[in-house]
Amino acid sequence: MRILVTGTAGFIGFHLARRLLRDGHDVTGIDGMTSYYDVTLKQKRHAMLREFERFTCNEFMLEDAQAMENAFTRCNPELVVHLAAQAGVRYSIENPGTYISANLIGTYNVLEQARRCQPAHLMIASTSSVYGASKNVPFSESQRCDHPLSLYAATKKATEELAHSYSHIWKLPVTAFRFFTVYGPWGRPDMALFKFTANTLAGRPIDVYNNGNMERDFTYIDDLVEAICLLSRKPPRGPGESDPGASPVAPYRVINIGNSHPVSLMAFIEAIEKALGQPCIRNYMPMQPGDVPRTWADCSALQALTGFRPATPVQAGVDAFVEWYRQYYRAPQTTIAKQQ
């Protein structure tokens, strides 16, 4: 199958592209190689993908409409997976314009090319952040998401709505999946697991927000990739399908991908300590603006559609990340921490 994936130098896009290539597909990758975090990590991911003959690498910004058109034309994709975005709840407070540009203009450019090329299925990444501080847990695709707490969440909700309108007007089958705190090897340096591991190995404190009174539905990367691959074979066929996230007027659905078992931040830190074999020095801090106290995915729709439900235990996932981290970063640990 001819597959176009945006964000292939990113954490999730790299893992998905590598899985698709190993499965024998032709993959066209797109990434802007932005400096939001260490570009050398992105370069290494792309270098690994280039080792596959069936991988075509494109490095340009999502906002470049002509480059996007050229890439779609060369690929003529049967499946499009749009993962590239400006991520991060806290960073959106400091650099809001980046989110408008990448997440809205960039997604518009992807949608325009999907409209033109008409792939059998367009898949778009969203986030659990769209649920805001909802107290209705676990979060179900059927509940309203009208009160985002950060600009990041607002832009991702907007991409869902943009995609729905294109799906309705152009009869384009679209799945928007809402990710829940994805972690694992090759993860992002701005995420808690990466920062906590780096700082603890260097003997530096970790910042624990809301004094540790937080819960997250941590989802291991391999489980997420498996769910995406299974969902890729299940494009919405038309309006009014029975799953809770299905649109009544378009071949469109939203769907949660999470572990369905919230873990407290303190338990997560304990898992890191166990994997590292040393304690973390905790620096307790108040809740940051735009953050949410709890996430919890209802994945019954995912299981009904695919027969699959993510289930990797947090300790197993943290162990895998720490093993990768130790192997990848061979420089002195104090140097590593300074790079974060």
> Going by DSSP bridges, is the β-strand pair 26-31/79-82 parallel, antiparallel, or unpaired?
unpaired
Q: Which of 119, 237, 138 is nearest to 178 (CA)?
A: 138
HSE-CB for 301 with a 13 A CA cutoff: 24
Give the Cβ contact number of residue 330 at 10 Å.
7
- Sequence letter at residue 19: R
**Sequence-ordered list of residues with C-beta below 8 angstroms from that of 238, at least 6 positions apart, any chain:** 251
DSSP codes, 53-96 = TTEEEEE--TT-HHHHHHHHHHH--SEEEE------TTHHHH-H
| Run of H or E residues at 75 | helix 65-75
Residues constituting the chain: 340
Catalytic residue among 91, 131, 152, 209: 152
Active site residue 37: no
- Looking at the chain, the number of H-run helices and the number of E-run strands are 13, 13
Q: How far is CA 208 from CA 59, 82, 289, in A?
A: 36, 32, 14
> Going by DSSP bridges, is the β-strand pair 121-127/174-179 parallel, antiparallel, or unpaired?
parallel
CA distance 187 to 200: 17
> Using alpha carbons only, how large is the chain's radius of gyration in Å?
19
Any bridge partners for residue 177, and if so which?
125, 255
Q: Which of 183, 192, 193, 204 is nearest to 335 (CA)?
A: 204
Residue with tokens 């940051």: 288
Residue with tokens 């009544």: 248
Active site residues per annotation? 152
